[in-house]
Structure 1
Amino acid sequence: MRSLITLDLSSYFYKVLPLKLEKPNLKKLIQNLTFLKELYLDRVNISNQGDWWQDLSLSLPNLRNLSLRDCDLSGPINPSLPQLQSLSVLRLDGNDIPSLRPLTWTSKYA
């Protein structure tokens, strides 16, 4: 799985409870996926993952697309976000993150 480019664990079934990432946690899940360019975790509860922004920025240097819609996230955007230098698409709609409106961001370089 080290050469995996896209990982989609999104839960699209709205009548089913959303997935919750616990074991493995997000850090363990992505720690060896250094070639990953697209990560989709829509409706996956990652709210108990601690410093998940830092985990993403340290483990996924090639990440271009990140979708975390409806993941029970709250609070401000972590300052480590700019460390994801390859990131061109960020989707955070459906979370309680007051610092971004609208919560879908696309780089002008995408």
Structure 2
Amino acid sequence: MTDTARRLYLQAYRRWLDADAAWQRALTEAERLVPGITTRHAWPLGHGGSRVRGAYERRARAIDVLHRARLIYLASERHARGGRARTLFLLRMPDAG
């Protein structure tokens, strides 16, 4: 299980890196259209269909999945070291949209 958990953790980390890079690009584009928008703390909200908000929400979901993947990995490491407790985590991957 440890190898599987490690792969899950690394995959979640890569997805978070991709989502974070997309969010940073969206912020850069928004800054070109509305100078100073990133300093007003309004950028993560945006309109429901805006690219910035979508990128922010995808990044937030990726962070959530990364945290859960880390818990799974740490639990599997504990189990591999001889821990007796058995833990089952259900992980829902975010939509790839």
Indicate the TM-score class for this superposition, using the shorter chain for normalisation: under 0.3
What TM-score do the two structures reach when normalised by structure 2?
0.24
TM-score (ref. length: structure 1): 0.22
Higher relative contact order (CA 8 A, sep 6+): 2
Determine which structure has the larger helix proportion and give its number: 2
